[in-house]
Chains A and B, each alone.
Chain A
């Protein structure tokens, strides 16, 4: 069975400082992993995805994530936070073979302080 744990429900950083949103996953098979962002009162938008190519994945708006199989982690980072990054972020796992489901983490709310 697959599962996702986002280790922080809320992260607060100052504008211009690095962002780290942590995600651990559990999967019986080789997973596909995603990060989605949800701005207030909006739907979800894909930030980036890992599908067994390069382990360091670059996404939109300067975000990137590194797939670490040994640690079963897929943490999201950004070198310098911007006010527009304030949103809720979801880590998502889906198993490649057979399973058609997406499993979402609980979400991490990112607050940016001026």
Chain B
């Protein structure tokens, strides 16, 4: 089954404790992206990747890191989480950029709480 998987689905952590949210897709997509969803703000793009070893900042990259060493995986790293990073996070993948009309396939989401 074609899908985007994220782990963990739920995470409660404390300020400053490094964490990684994994994202994996099995559709051989080149484009992958991370979003955060906050009430009243819709989804905001954190980082995206056009291909292996090619990443770029989205609209809200502060406090996050990413890497794309393999085509299927695109982990999101919070080196020192803070309470304002409490949010619902979505990973997405597609064959190409949205600007060219490619559909994004979304993972189920990771709900992160930082205390």
Binding site for B on A (CB under 8 A): 4, 6, 9, 31-32, 34, 36, 42-46, 49, 51, 90, 92, 94-107
Contacts and interface: CB of A to CB of B under 8 A. Distances in A.
A10 B31 CA distance: 32
B83 to A, nearest CB: 22
Contacts of B31: 100
Nearest to B103: A46
Interface residues of B, number: 28
Given A34-B98, A51-B100, A90 B106 contact: no
A32 B42 CA distance: 18
B56 A100 contact: yes
Contacts of B56: 100
A107 B42 contact: yes
Nearest to A96: B99
A100 B90 CA distance: 17
Contacts of A32: 98-101
A95 B99 CA distance: 5
Contacts of B109: 43
Contacts of B100: 32, 51, 96
B106 A102 contact: no
Contacts of A9: 40
Contact of B106 (A4, A43, A96, A99): A43
Given A96-B99, A100-B56, A107-B40, 11 more contacts: A32-B98, A34-B103, A45-B106, A49-B103, A51-B100, A90-B42, A100-B31, A100-B97, A104-B43, A105-B42, A106-B41
Nearest to A9: B40
